[in-house]
Each structure stands twice: as C-alpha cells, then as structure tokens.
Amino acid sequence: MNKINIYIALFMMLMSMKAFAQQKASLVSKETSITFFSNAPLEDIEAKSILGASAMNLQRGDIIFRVKNTSFQFDKKLMQEHFNENYMESDRYPLSEFKGKVENADKLTKDGNYTLNVTGTLQIHGVTKPYSTKAAFIVKDGTLKAVTSFQVKLADHKISIPSIVGKKIAEVVKITVDATYRP
C-alpha cells in the first residue's frame, strides 16, 4: 500500500473519531506510535506505525486507539509482507483497535505525572479480548502524553505461527503505545 493510501486511511480513521473528540473535555492524538516487539530464540522482530490515531474523553475516561495494520514498518520488506499477508491478513482485517476506560481520567485535567489503570477490549485479527494495563500520563500546559506497554498472546487473537518459523516469532509480543494528545 502506498503512502497516499495510508494517509487517506489515517484521515478516515480520524474523521470517524470526530464525533467522539468533539465532546467537551476530549483530546485527540494525531501523534500516536504503536510498536510491537517479538523476542524469539532465533530472531527479534520489531515493527512500528506512526500513523495510529486516538481520542480520549477526560470526563468519562473513554479512550480509543486505531491503527491500520498495513502501516507497520519493518526493517526487512519480506517480514512486512509476511506480517500483512500470512499473520494479520490485513486485507481481511485492516484495522486493530482498542476501546476502553482510563480510571480517574478526570485527574488528567491538571499538570502532573500520573500512573492510571486502563481497561478495555483489544480487537486484533477479528478477535476481541479484554485487556488491562497501567499507563503513564504526563500533563503539561494542556498537552497530555500517554505511554503504556502490555503483552499480547498471538493465539488469543487466532494468529497462528507455522512450526517452521516457530523459533523466529514469539508466541507473546510486547505492544507499546506512545500518544500525545492536544485539545
């Protein structure tokens, strides 16, 4: 997929969040990076997307993240092809999405550093599962930065790893989300 199509997809994701973000006390992140890291015996694999989008309502604590699966970039082109065609089936499942709640999100209206619980559901590869993690938030002058990491078991999302590459791809991958929100 070329860069123009990726930017169009990002724009469409942001527009679909528009109603959510227009609510009072809502923030939008157009600066959301999502990284996954697979640590396996024979090879480490890392991919990053800087085209994620997110919105958060500070009054209710609602939060949503979306990323187009084809926006993940790998060091090796072949890994990217295998990721999209064989594992994520990106044509069939183009987006991954987290919808949830940030506990005590109303605290994030004041400058400071906070560690808060985030719970919700993560939809990857057409499978939705509950997740809970802690996220670090830094609020300064109306800008909010959020960072979190959590583990995802691929089998939980029906992503199968062929035995021939089993020592190159971990069964559990680390997902890191880094977002900067602005009013």
123, 122, 104, 124: which is closest to 114 by C-alpha?
104
Q: Name residues whose C-beta falls within 8 Å of residue 144's C-beta, 6 or more positions apart in sequence.
A: 27, 56, 108, 137, 138, 180, 181
10-residue mean pLDDT profile of the chain (183 residues): values are 52 50 73 90 88 95 96 91 90 96 96 98 97 97 95 90 63 94 87
Q: Name residues whose C-beta falls within 8 Å of residue 10's C-beta, 6 or more positions apart in sequence.
A: 51, 53, 68, 71
In degrees rounded to 5, what are phi and psi of residue 177?
A: -120, 130
Note the pTM of the prediction, 2 decimals.
Answer: 0.82
Report how far residue 10's alpha carbon sits from residue 3's, in angstroms, rounded to the nearest whole number.
10
